[in-house]
Structure 1
Amino acid sequence: MTTQSHETAVLRARDFWASLVLIALSLFFLWKTSAIPLFGENRAGVSGADWYTSAALVPLGIFGGLLILSCVLLAIAIRSGGAAHALSAVGIGWDRAEALRFTTIAVMLFFYIAGLVPRVDFILASGLLITAMIFGYHGGHARRALLSAAMVALAGGYALIAHGPQAEWNAHSDDWLTLVCWLGLTLPVLRAARQERALRIVPVLAFFAPFILVCAMAFGFRQNVPARGGLIFKQIEYHYYVTLRPLWKD
């Protein structure tokens, strides 16, 4: 087996194991989401309304989509021989680059989910994460991954420590720090975009993707969004109800 074919076999084997883990996580969270009323039923004293206002809608979409993508990845891995190689232990072994990649991803996701999402404005938190994920792993540069993980860990760690109790979740110092980290990470993105044209869309995507999602959740599906009193969403919600809605009500 040539070096290139061996590396391909290892990657397909890791795809196989990764898809199994993602499928298990997706099924677990779909099972937990099933406890949220969807069609107006009453569970654990919580009464649901119409399906399109249910809090279960967004997690069902996210984890349902993740399950589908995981199954696609599993099918590709099996079709390309990844399952056979995985079961023969070809994909098992220490790889420093792989270990660094999975460690930095785990750090980002932990501080995003545990620190940023409940406390920091959704647009700021998600914009920082999207920027970190794309910049950190586009091109396979280890320093970029470390810098991206450090930025997310700094913002999420501060939010977790400084505003841990739920009574302090509406404070804005963590919003401002997250904004600074996001802008600070955007600067090397723009510098790298001079040579890597694909990175030019990152600032636009990092802002508009969470902006559209949170507006759809809050005003389209009437969902309760995380950190509703956040620095940016608080202004969006105010102008939606005070400035925009009266225009089509009159």
Structure 2
Amino acid sequence: MRLTGVTLDHRGGDGRPFRVLDLPKLVVAPGEHLGLRGPSGSGKTSILHLIAGLILPGSGTVAWGETEVSALDVSRRDRWRLNTLGYVFQDFHLIPELDVAANITLPASFSSWRIGRAEREHGEALARRMGLTDLSRKAGVLSRGEQQRVAIARALSRRPALILADEPTASLDAAHAEEVGTLLVEAAREAGATLICASHDSGLLARMERCIDIAPAPPLPDLATVSGHAA
């Protein structure tokens, strides 16, 4: 994974632009486990969204191997995500009305109108690996820890080459955070997947092979000042 010369700007409530991210270069080797740490608002989640192609940089490139993700159109980014990526969202994004099994195998339904036996059995195996025993329970009645386990199992269900995890232990107590973090790292290692994890959890970050600190981007220059028209 390579991010080169990446910047990302947003506009505040007053309409003025501000810089969210300024990342000259980030290279992640295939199969590497990388931790992103930094204060809230430093751009950790934005980096994950850029890697996933959920947002595009204002400048620079985001590439996975020979694929320049940031240059793909919407439909091709969707296909790339489906074939390459597993994402553990901070807010889970489960469907409350669906049961555990259906939530885990949901990504398979995006490419086929029917979930095959192999996908179901793989989903059940992942659920067991995550300590989920009742696959018929609806996601809406699960505890946050159980929902987190379902979200991780879903991210692994397509055997992705790249796993992104955004604060995967943030909603858990210390004991469950350690257990879930171990499951995530071990599952990624067994699959030979690249894992990029944004977290404040020092225990989880200690399991990564490498960690980098993400600092808040410097403010954009005041255009009035730059042009010599400051008050």
State the structure with more CA Rg. Answer: 1
TM-score strictly above 0.5: no
- The structure showing larger relative contact order (alpha-carbon pairs under 8 Å, at least 6 residues apart) is 2
TM-score norm. by structure 2 comes to 0.30
The structure whose residues are more often helix, as a share, is 1
